[in-house]
């Protein structure tokens, strides 16, 4: 029996993790769950799974949560600090880090320091602090198992190849809903259009990141840290069907890939049961029904976010942290209708240029870079507003 903590249990990865638990009641026990502010879902999950601890990041909702669960023997906590404390409980075996964005960093660090196995869905953690996280994980002998479908595919292609060096990683990308739009048309897309991903059902933030290809940029950075390769060993390939989830090329030229239906429950379950594969009822693919799979080069002109992510990791230090913070601000501003789709990369590029470079940032340096980059990005939102409003009239 593995005892698991799920950070971000009410989000897309969190709820699918609970699906996996539901299907494998003899393997997993939900020990702790946390959410940012989705209190009703969190209450329902607590009533179903009876965890030891339930935590809500938004402290103002704590009295309501306590009230709703007062009849159950559950510890009910509130605040970001409590989430970071919750993951250190000695009984927890695996922490599923499925929070959105920068908020995942601190609790993941605490979980690593407490020696927990991490099932990592929160890629922003490695974007912001890849070097720090990798170092801590080695120091504390703490395995980080990828949940991201591409990285799970790479991981699955590496199993049994421990002796062999990676020549190249082939990181596949669906290309999102706007794969074939011109630059002019991209300027006019709306949040509603961007939120319709062709293959994957995900949370709002990552769906926008997929449409802008920032998600793929983040995944390049994530792959670099998870698998210890150089950026020039990672090739992004657009594969609109999302069947080949990624691949590894070895020095003899052999390429090993993992294929499957676009369903996050498989990589989630694999991270939780590794090295075993558990029986599942997830959808199967039929190669003859699929007929053909296609592969294209990504277009860095129409999707400048991917280029920005490459630039950020090439510069290194605290710049990927600034990239992430600026993207969180721009992504939200786009979803709220404050800026156009193509203003996102402008704001991010501008912020990356203005942040002062720190080559070897400490955790505190990253905290201050994050906060400075957010302030700079917020400022460029208002600065651009006239242009943006004009842009909106064209929509
Ligand atoms: Mg992915």
Residue 96 pLDDT > 70, yes or no? yes
List Cβ neighbours of 167 (8 Å cut-off, separation of 6 or more): 233, 249, 250, 251
Residue 391 pLDDT > 90, yes or no? no
Distance 149 CA to ligand 1 centre (A): 5
Q: How confident is the model at residue 197 (pLDDT cuts 50, 70, 90)?
A: confident
Average pLDDT over residues 53-65: 98
Distance 245 CA to ligand 1 centre (A): 9
Q: Are 101 and 128 in contact (CB under 8 A)?
A: no
Q: What is the pLDDT of residues 61-78, one digit of tens each?
A: 999 999 999 999 999 999
The pLDDT value recorded for residue 384 is 56
Structure tokens, 152: 């799970």
Distance 246 CA to ligand 1 centre (A): 10
Range of weakest confidence among 47-51, 135-139, 332-336, 390-394: 390-394
CA distances from 391 to 189, 214, 386 (A): 11, 22, 9
Q: What is the pLDDT of residues 133-175, one digit of tens each?
A: 999 999 999 999 999 999 999 999 999 999 999 999 999 999 9
Is residue 378 packed enough to be buried (19+ CB in 10 Å), middle (13-18) or exposed (0-12)?
A: middle
Residue 350 pLDDT > 90, yes or no? yes
Distance 90 CA to ligand 1 centre (A): 30
Residue 389 pLDDT > 50, yes or no? no
Helix or strand run (H / E) with residue 330: helix 319-335
Helix or strand run (H / E) with residue 366: helix 363-383
Distance 391 CA to ligand 1 centre (A): 31
Distance 389 CA to ligand 1 centre (A): 32
Average pLDDT over residues 46-66: 98
Range of weakest confidence among 185-199, 286-300, 307-321: 185-199
- Report d(CA 349, CA 364) in Å as an integer: 23
Structure tokens, 270: 């694999």
Residue 60 pLDDT > 80, yes or no? yes
Distance 394 CA to ligand 1 centre (A): 32
């Amino acid at each position: 029996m593995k005892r698991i903590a799920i950070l971000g249990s009410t989000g897309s990865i969190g709820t699918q993790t609970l699906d996996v638990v539901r299907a494998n009641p003899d393997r997993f026990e939900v020990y702790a769950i946390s959410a940012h502010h989705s209190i009703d879902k969190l209450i329902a999950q607590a009533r179903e799974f009876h965890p030891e601890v339930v935590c809500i990041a938004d402290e103002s909702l704590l009295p309501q949560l306590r009230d709703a669960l007062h009849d159950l023997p559950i510890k009910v906590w509130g605040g970001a600090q409590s989430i970071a404390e919750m993951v250190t409980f000695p009984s927890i075996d695996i922490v599923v880090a499925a929070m959105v964005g920068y908020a995942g960093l601190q609790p993941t660090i605490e979980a690593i320091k407490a020696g927990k196995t991490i099932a990592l869905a929160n890629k922003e953690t490695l974007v912001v602090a890849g070097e720090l996280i990798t170092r801590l994980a080695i120091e504390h002998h703490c395995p980080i198992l990828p949940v991201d479908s591409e990285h799970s595919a790479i991981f699955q292609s590496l199993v049994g190849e421990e002796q062999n060096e990676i020549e190249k990683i082939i990181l596949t990308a669906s290309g999102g809903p706007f794969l074939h739009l011109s630059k002019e048309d991209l300027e006019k897309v709306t949040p509603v259009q961007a939120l319709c991903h062709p293959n994957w059902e995900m949370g709002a933030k990552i769906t926008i990141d997929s449409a802008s290809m920032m998600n793929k940029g983040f995944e390049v950075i994530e792959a670099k840290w998870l698998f210890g390769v150089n950026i020039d060993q990672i090739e992004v390939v657009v594969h609109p069907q999302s069947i080949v989830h990624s691949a590894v090329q070895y020095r003899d030229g052999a390429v090993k890939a993992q294929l499957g239906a676009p369903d996050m429950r498989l990589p989630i379950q694999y991270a939780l049961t590794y090295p075993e594969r558990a029986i599942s009822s997830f959808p199967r693919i039929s190669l003859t029904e699929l007929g053909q799979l296609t592969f294209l080069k990504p277009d860095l002109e129409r999707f400048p976010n991917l280029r920005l992510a490459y630039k950020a990791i090439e510069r290194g230090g605290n710049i990927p942290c600034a990239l992430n913070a600026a993207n969180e601000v721009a992504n939200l501003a786009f979803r709220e209708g404050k800026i156009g789709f193509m203003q996102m990369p402008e704001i991010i590029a501008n912020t990356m240029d203005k942040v002062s470079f720190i080559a070897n940032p400490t955790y505190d340096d990253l905290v201050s870079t994050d906060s400075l980059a957010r302030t700079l990005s917020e400022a460029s939102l208002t600065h651009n507003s006239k242009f943006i409003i004009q842009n909106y009239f064209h929509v």
